[in-house]
Chain A
Amino acid sequence: MNIGFFIDALVTVVGVTTPILLAATGELVVEKSGVLNLGIEGMMLIGAVTGFAVTFNTGPALGDFAPWAGVLAAALAGVASSMLFGVLVLTLGSNQVATGLALAIFGIGLSALVGAGYVGMIVPSFDSLFPDRLAGDPLWRVVFGYSPLVYFALLMVFAVGWFLNRTRAGLILRAVGENDLSAHSIGYSVIAIRYAAIAFGGALAGIAGAYFSMVITPMWAEQMTAGRGWIALALVVFSGWRAGRLLAGAYFFGVLMTLELYAKASGFSFLPSQFWAAMPYIAAVIALAVISAREVAGTEAPACLGRPFLPNS
């Protein structure tokens, strides 16, 4: 056990945490507005395949900028797929749980279909944001050696936290999730605000998916997000719908996921790898129970979460 081992472990933790942090941050905004989108897994996969495909196809033309084009495309694909959910749930008033599931299943299938032609290919990866001296340094890479998406994820969670708690727009969004009928009576457009939140969630989910196909491995494979979308959902719940706890919780889950990896790889079984793999979900369930039981103001679920908006009933 030397410092190198710890550096490796930390880097791994950051790496596995980033996609769920991104997806969960997006879903946090969505749920704060009162909507439950279970389709994260599907949106992530659509983002993954889109990011990969666009990077691959623009590689010759754009060179080093191709990955950025890919990520942008992934974000847009995420928005588009989230809009499918949005129209059904907001304009047609369909059941949020079923629609989210449909999106997940659809995304899994559609991404496999589109990605069929890309199996086995490789795309160029991101250039580091920092000079090689820092990014490649055996010690400092813990801080500087990551893909730009990692820093983007951190930036996003702070931005969302600031947005929700310190801006008027964030206050309005929270109000919409707290009591949609009241917000509507006052004159806020509940539907428009929820559309915006859903689109934001879709964008971040798309980027989270691109992280898999462009950073973790520069390749595409069916269902490569391996259930991380569901962990992101667990994370939002675990965080009590607070941005600060989301950040901490994400890294906690990241540690658990890393423990699973190490347990699988080294066969070190103080506890079997499956235990670590199951822990994020168990932790989420426990957190749910604790949150609901304690009823601490500010950490409950947004009161309107999952309920359709029916202004004329």
Chain B
Amino acid sequence: MNVEAAPRLKLVGVSKSFPGVRANDNVNLSVKPGEIHALLGENGAGKSTLVKMIYGILAPDAGEIVFDGLPVRISNPRAARRLGIGMVFQHFSLFEAMTVLENIALGLDSRLSSRELLAEFNRVLEAYGLKLDPRRVVSTLSVGERQRIEIVRALLLKPRLLIMDEPTSVLTPQEVEQLFETLRKLAASGCSILYISHKLHEIVALCDTATILRGGKVVAHCDPKRETSRSMAEMMIGANLKEIAKPASRSFGAPKLAALRLSLPKPSEFGVALEDVALSVRAGEIFGVAGVAGNGQNELLSAMSGETLALTADAITLAGREVGRLGVAERRNMGLCAVPEERNGHAAVGEFSLTDNGALTGRDRMEMVRFGLIDPGRAINYAAEVIGAYAVKATGPGALAGSLSGGNLQKFIMGREILQRPEALVVCQPTWGVDAGAAAAIHQAIVDLAARGSAVMVISQDLDELLTLCDTIAVINLGRLSAPMKVGQVSIEEIGLLMGGVHGDPAATVEMTEALHAHPA
């Protein structure tokens, strides 16, 4: 490669602030033509903001963007596309009620007749070996297929720079492999790729170079092939990874939380049906449920918490009592607490104060209610207790939940449930989007809760988290739960296979194993 060639993209001293936070601070970045360049960082490090500026959705407060040697001002996505910058978002911009072809037409700037569009569409599918039916209505497509629409949209404009924002969080290992093939072909033809991810093993497998962001600043450039996952993780987090303090060998008590033959129909068009789920969590045990997003995790949490009623009362038992047909409030009164994945809007109400959020789930167990009225004093005291016990950075119980940072709000939510001294706790994605410090505190809180005799179930897409925390682990795939396995007696490979969904399918197993071996974690 010609060392003197002008970089495809250069960012010089780019900065961006929002009220209360400096999202990007003096960022310098350089991407060569045909290079696959990783952009690494934890949630909140500033990756999304940075690429939004490259794609014209936001404007930098300071600094310069240089494309193919010329300084440019990218005022909107259309201007970005005109330059040859394409972007595939993490959250798709699709129109459910319309067809694939209509969606693609909407994503294009040029006016092509339907015939021309179809021809171009087929050309791209051929060139990159992709499969997609133009007449299907988007609402009927799988997540992987929907992403393909976004990719085709980007490819149609013959991009010189393609930005991929966390593309594999919703894909099966097979689909990931397909995606990497497409990207490699694209890079070989001279297009640069800016690949945002926090999945270290993928970056090692795919990318030529990496830029690491932390707290809005660039903290390192490196060659992923020369680093280890651990060293890159440490650069991302900025501290040595701590070991979780877990009592070495623990004895477990009687089963406290169990599900048997738990089956539920799909809650909606895009939901997942639960099929014959069986699990058992003993007192003091931390039970993990691993899986790729979209395989029924939220449905499982809803079923366990009571937001969705089971079909039979005995499908779910708590300390021996059948609770399958009881609602959330009743299960909570009996000692089953839960924390759903979505902080703002589900586990907590952003517009409400911490006091009100405390009353949201704690009002019965913490005895705040008399004659149908909530005692404001008790509600405030409880919120203050949670804030104090879990070092939540907030101005007080009156602070609005929406004003807290992700990590602090998550600490409050977890603390709110744990201080209710539940018999059993089910949490989903406990540390998603949470800074490392808060994540460690949450993990410790979970471990302590289990040590006090509660049964804890952790549903997470972060395999590392589960392997650190849990005693037992099972994998959920397409709504089915695998048999439980003791952590320490199972290999990552096996788990990966189960996540890819190969219960007893020999041919698929072989394929999957080979794919996994080609890119060691």
Indicate whether A and B are direct neighbours in the complex (CB within 8 Å).
yes
Asked if A185 contacts B97 (CB within 8 A), the reply is no
Asked if A300 contacts B97 (CB within 8 A), the reply is yes
Asked if B111 contacts A178 (CB within 8 A), the reply is no
**Complex: A303 Cα to B107 Cα, angstroms:** 19
**Complex: A300 Cα to B139 Cα, angstroms:** 14
Asked if A187 contacts B76 (CB within 8 A), the reply is yes
Cβ 8 A contact of A175, one of B57, B81, B98: B98
Residue from A168, A172, A300 having most chain B Cβ neighbours under 10 A: A168
**Complex: A300 Cα to B97 Cα, angstroms:** 9
Cβ 8 A contact of A182, one of B56, B94, B109, B139: B94
Q: Is A293 an interface residue (CB 8 A)?
A: no
Contact with B along A192-221 (1 / 0, CB 8 A): 000000000000000000000000000000
**Complex: A182 Cα to B96 Cα, angstroms:** 10
Nearest chain A CB to B96 CB, angstrom units: 7
Q: Is B327 an interface residue (CB 8 A)?
A: no
Contact with A along B75-106 (1 / 0, CB 8 A): 01110010000000100111111100010011
Asked if A303 contacts B106 (CB within 8 A), the reply is no
**Complex: A134 Cα to B139 Cα, angstroms:** 52
Q: Which residue of A lies closest to B105 (CB)?
A: A171
Q: Is A60 an interface residue (CB 8 A)?
A: no
Report A280-303 residues with CB < 8 Å from chain B CB: 297-298, 300, 303
Nearest chain B CB to A269 CB, angstrom units: 45
Nearest chain A CB to B476 CB, angstrom units: 28
State how many residues of chain B have any CB contact under 8 Å with chain A: 22
Asked if B96 contacts A178 (CB within 8 A), the reply is yes
Q: Which residue of B lies closest to A167 (CB)?
A: B111
Cβ 8 A contact of B96, one of A171, A174, A187, A303: A303
Asked if A187 contacts B77 (CB within 8 A), the reply is yes
**Complex: A168 Cα to B106 Cα, angstroms:** 8
Q: Is B137 an interface residue (CB 8 A)?
A: yes
Asked if B105 contacts A178 (CB within 8 A), the reply is no
Nearest chain A CB to B267 CB, angstrom units: 15
Nearest chain B CB to A143 CB, angstrom units: 36
Q: Is A310 an interface residue (CB 8 A)?
A: no
Nearest chain A CB to B87 CB, angstrom units: 9
Nearest chain B CB to A58 CB, angstrom units: 42
For chain A, which range describes its interface: under 10, 10 to 19, 20 to 34, or 35 or more residues? Answer: 10 to 19
- Residues on A with beta carbons closer than 8 Å to the beta carbon of B92: 182
Cβ 8 A contact of A171, one of B78, B89, B102: B102
Report B485-501 residues with CB < 8 Å from chain A CB: none
Asked if A303 contacts B97 (CB within 8 A), the reply is yes
Interface of A is mostly: helix
Report B110-162 residues with CB < 8 Å from chain A CB: 111, 137, 139
Asked if B107 contacts A186 (CB within 8 A), the reply is yes
Asked if A178 contacts B93 (CB within 8 A), the reply is no
- Residues on B with beta carbons closer than 8 Å to the beta carbon of A181: 93
- Residues on A with beta carbons closer than 8 Å to the beta carbon of B107: 186
Q: Is A179 an interface residue (CB 8 A)?
A: yes
Contact with A along B318-348 (1 / 0, CB 8 A): 0000000000000000000000000000000
- Residues on B with beta carbons closer than 8 Å to the beta carbon of A175: 95, 98, 106
**Complex: A303 Cα to B97 Cα, angstroms:** 9
Asked if B98 contacts A178 (CB within 8 A), the reply is yes
Asked if B106 contacts A297 (CB within 8 A), the reply is no
Asked if A298 contacts B94 (CB within 8 A), the reply is no
Asked if A178 contacts B102 (CB within 8 A), the reply is no
Cβ 8 A contact of B106, one of A171, A298, A300: A171
Nearest chain A CB to B325 CB, angstrom units: 27
Cβ 8 A contact of A185, one of B81, B93, B98, B109: B93
Nearest chain A CB to B89 CB, angstrom units: 7
Asked if B95 contacts A178 (CB within 8 A), the reply is yes
Q: Which residue of A lies closest to B95 (CB)?
A: A178
Asked if B106 contacts A187 (CB within 8 A), the reply is no
Nearest chain B CB to A251 CB, angstrom units: 27
Asked if B93 contacts A186 (CB within 8 A), the reply is yes
Asked if A297 contacts B94 (CB within 8 A), the reply is no
- Residues on B with beta carbons closer than 8 Å to the beta carbon of A171: 102, 105-106
Nearest chain B CB to A77 CB, angstrom units: 34
Nearest chain A CB to B404 CB, angstrom units: 16
Q: Which residue of B lies closest to A295 (CB)?
A: B269
Q: Using known A-B contacts A178-B97, A179-B94, A297-B97, determine if residue A186 contacts B106 with beta carbons closer than 8 Å.
A: yes
Contact with B along A150-183 (1 / 0, CB 8 A): 0000000000000000001001101100110111
- Residues on B with beta carbons closer than 8 Å to the beta carbon of A297: 97, 137, 139
- Residues on A with beta carbons closer than 8 Å to the beta carbon of B137: 297
B interface residues with partner A (beta carbon < 8 Å): 56-57, 76-78, 81, 89, 92-98, 102, 105-107, 109, 111, 137, 139
A interface residues with partner B (beta carbon < 8 Å): 168, 171-172, 174-175, 178-179, 181-183, 185-187, 297-298, 300, 303
Q: A187-B76, A297-B139 provided; 20 other pairs, C-beta below 8 A?
A: A172-B106, A174-B98, A175-B95, A178-B97, A178-B98, A179-B93, A179-B95, A182-B92, A183-B93, A183-B106, A185-B89, A186-B77, A186-B106, A186-B107, A187-B77, A297-B97, A297-B137, A298-B97, A303-B96, A303-B97
